[in-house]
Amino acid sequence: MKLYPAIDLKDGKCVRLLQGNYNEVTVYGNNPGEMAKKWESLGGDLLHIVDLDGAKAGKEVNGKAIRQIVEAIQIPIELGGGIRSIEDIRLQLSRGVHRVILGSAAIKNRTLVKEAIETFGADRIVVGVDAKDGMVAIEGWLEVTDTSALVFCKELEKIGVQTIIYTDIAKDGMMQGPNIEETRKLVENTHLNIVASGGVSSLEDLKALEKIGVYGAIIGKAIYTGAIDLEEAAKLFK
C-alpha cells in the first residue's frame, strides 16, 4: 500500500480544513516547497496536493506554490482543485505534475474524463470521488447527489479510469478513522486502484485499509498533528 502525504493549499499556505469547511482552517506552514521536502524525506511515495482556492474558483489559484513544490521534490505529485478542461490538464502535466485529479468536473462531464484518458493516458488521470453515506457529493461537498459511489465508480471504470481517490466527507479532518465498509465495497466490486482518503488518524487505520486491499492511503491532518509518524508508517508499509 502506498502512502500519500497531503498538502492542501490556501492563500499560498499549507492548511487543513475540517470536513471541507473553508471557515474551519488551520494553517500548518507558509512554505509549501519546504513542507513537500519534509514529507518526501520521511518516505512519502507520492505527494497529494489540492488547490483549495482553485477548487472553489473553478480555475488555478495557487500556481506559484504548486511550482515551488514541483521544483522542490523528486517523488511524483498528483494535483486536484480547479482542473476543468483539457487545457488545464495539459498545463499541469507540462509543469511537471505527474497526474491530475478530476473531481466535480468528472461527475458533470464524463466526456472530459474519456478525452483526458485518450489524450494523456490513464496513468495521468485520477478521478476524485467524494461521498457521504455512500452517495456522491459535488461542488466542494456542498451538494450530495442521488448517485451511489459504487455505481459512479463502475461507470468510470467502463470509460477507462484506472485510479480513484475515494473520500468520505463525513470523516475528513475528523481524526475518527476512515469509512472501511464503503471503501471495501469499491475494492471488492471494481478492478480500480482505490486510494482511500479522509479520516486516517493512526497506524491502525492504515493497517485496516491495507487489509481490505486499497492501493494507497492519503494522510493529511494526522501527519501534521503528529498522530501518525510518516517515517514509521513508511517503514511498515514498504
**Residues acting as catalytic residues:** 8, 130
Return d(Cα 86, Cα 65) in angstroms, integer. 21
Distance CA 226, CA 63 (A): 28
Identity at 135, one-letter amino acid code: M
Question: What does the alpha-carbon distance between residue 13 and residue 10 come to, in Å, rounded to a whole number?
Answer: 5
CB 79 within 8 A of CB 107: no
Sign of CA dihedral 53, 54, 59, 61: positive
Rounded-to-integer distance, Cα 228 and Cα 197, Å: 15
Residue 13 backbone dihedrals phi, psi, to 5 degrees? -115, 160
The closest alpha carbon to 104, from 66, 58, 63, 147, belongs to 58
Longest dimension (CA), the chain: 42
Helical pair 180-189 and 149-158, crossing angle rounded to 10 deg: 30
- Identity (one letter) of the amino acid at 145? T
Find all residues with CB under 8 Å of 116, minimum gap 6, and list them.
86, 89, 100, 102, 124, 125
- Joined together, the cell numbers standing for residue 201 give 488518524
Q: Which residues pair with 137 in a beta bridge?
A: 144
